[in-house]
A and B are shown apart, each in its own frame.
Chain A
Amino acid sequence: MSAPILSIHPEAEYAAFLADGRFMLQRVISTGETVFFPRVAQPRTGKDDLEWVEAAGAATLYSFTITRNRPPAADYVIALVDLAEGVRMMSRIVDCDPARLSIGMSLRARVGEVDGAPVVLFEPEETQS
């Protein structure tokens, strides 16, 4: 068993993983619970035995809104998604006609970019091959 990737500087480490194309989540070593957003300790408990683990990438859509823009700027979908690990995050839903979105649908994560910044994006599960 490989040594855990300990979390010391959560904000910087999360960003560095993303820049490296990796979507990582904090996990409490002693309990297995997931923490998001990344923190120096688990909220409520203060447990600080945190390691980084690869996100499973599976999620469901909790809510979404289409951010309307005046052309030529494109509309985009901002969403709240519930990860299989039991935490919620904001993201964008991409590669999907917004008319096909429905709350509760299955999503799949990938690391992409918004305006050049690395971010976790989601697309509907069924569009995956």
Chain B
Amino acid sequence: MTGFPRGQAAVVGAATYGMDSKPGFSAIELLAKASFAAIADAGLVPTEIDAVFSTLPEDPFSAMSVPEYLGIRPKLVENSRTGGSAFQIYAMWAALALEAGLCNAVLICYGSNQRSGAGGLVRSATLPFPYEAPYKPRNPTTSYALAAKRHMHQFGTTREHLAEVAVAARKWAQLNPDANMRDPLSIEDVLNARMVSDPLTVRDCCLVTDGAAAVVMTRADRARDLPNKPAYLLGAADATWHRNISTSADITITAASEAAPRAYAQAGIGPADIDVVELYDAFTINTILFLEDFGFCAKGEGGSFVADGAIAPGGRLPVNTNGGGLSCVHPGMYGLFSMVEAVTQLRGIAGERQVKDARVALSHGNGGVLSSQAVTIWGTAETL
């Protein structure tokens, strides 16, 4: 008995909005577009939402401004700011709050106009770390490049392995009409792209896009009466080991290695039972690190695991089936898009990229610089 209410809550509605560049919209407008669409998709009306768990990157008070904008008076709000992993953490708290009867319908939402609005990366209100900032690291890229370099040194991972991740993401994106980058991409293209921070080229780095996403969660009994096929939350866990990369004891292992076994125990499954894997691929090294940390292969073997198209369409394991942060969408924080794709696959409405008979999907969030790690495991009714 882990205490987690396995399968007792479900996503019943999901939506994205403005994943391409949407000039003229503020971040909260994008968020609201996705939120109202997700509520409608769930077969609910906005006033039925009684809990709002939100992140707007540049608004530390989005717990109040988002309900205000939507016209909702929530009984419960959540605004953990762990970066891209916050949404998996929200789903975990949503399941617990729903089971406890604190609320009946949770909206989890995110929006950013970083590409069209600011013309640059999300400016989160974070304090500079006095023991790194003077050296002018270009974060987040610097931190992930340091991890990639060390992984290559320690385990023999190659730049070709990293490129395999980018190419696989692109091949999935080519099956997704909503993905931003759908042009052909080869291993050589990635290797020959402009070097940003060795060993990472621009094609090893995620996109910079606009985008909003939202999901609605209810208790399982109510979910069965709503129009969509529910995606039940089977397990969820998070772990935090550091904030800044220089304080990590070993940058080749993330806290996902600690969160994963807890989530698997809650769900009563292991990595071999997972049909679809949605990882937070802000950089190509991420996918390799997280495949290891989630137990799909041993530590150090992520490079050879992804070789020869193994995680591309038709490979041995479907990973980042929407095209991921590398080729589909990355508006500063990607975690909720990972979750929407997991739900889309379990509903069986993913079109050309649909993974056949997908019953269990893993959706992962990464926050900071390999700092916060959160994982959710979702299943169809057959898995209950």
A→B interface (CB under 8 Å): 11, 15, 36-38, 62-68, 76, 78-80, 88-92, 98, 103-104, 114-115, 117, 119
Contact = CB atoms under 8 A, between A and B. Distances in A.
B135 A78 contact: yes
Nearest to B244: A90
11 contacts: A36-B131, A38-B131, A62-B150, A63-B147, A67-B138, A67-B142, A79-B146, A80-B146, A80-B246, A88-B246, A114-B136
B74 to A, nearest CB: 36
Given A62-B150, A76-B136, A67 B197 contact: yes
B246 A65 contact: no
Contacts of A98: 198
Given A66-B197, A114-B134, 20 more contacts: A37-B130, A37-B131, A63-B153, A64-B146, A65-B142, A65-B197, A67-B142, A68-B194, A68-B195, A68-B196, A76-B136, A78-B136, A78-B197, A80-B245, A88-B246, A88-B249, A90-B137, A92-B135, A103-B150, A114-B135
B197 A80 contact: no
A103 B131 contact: no
Interface residues of B, number: 28
Nearest first, the 3 closest Cβ-Cβ pairs linking A and B are A65-B145, A63-B150, A90-B246
A72 to B, nearest CB: 16
Contacts of B138: 67
A63 B142 contact: no
Question: Which of B135, B146, B245, B246 is packed against the most chain A CB atoms within 10 Å?
Answer: B135
Interface in B115-142: 130-132, 134-138, 142
B66 interface: no
B219 interface: no
Nearest to B132: A90
Contacts of A67: 136-138, 142, 197
Contacts of B245: 80, 90
Nearest to A89: B246
Given A80-B251, A89-B246, A90-B245, A103 B135 contact: no
Question: Which of A63, A64, A65, A119 is packed against the most chain B CB atoms within 10 Å?
Answer: A65
Contacts of B251: 63, 80
A36 B129 CA distance: 13
A91 B150 contact: no
B149 interface: yes
B130 A15 contact: yes
B149 A37 contact: no
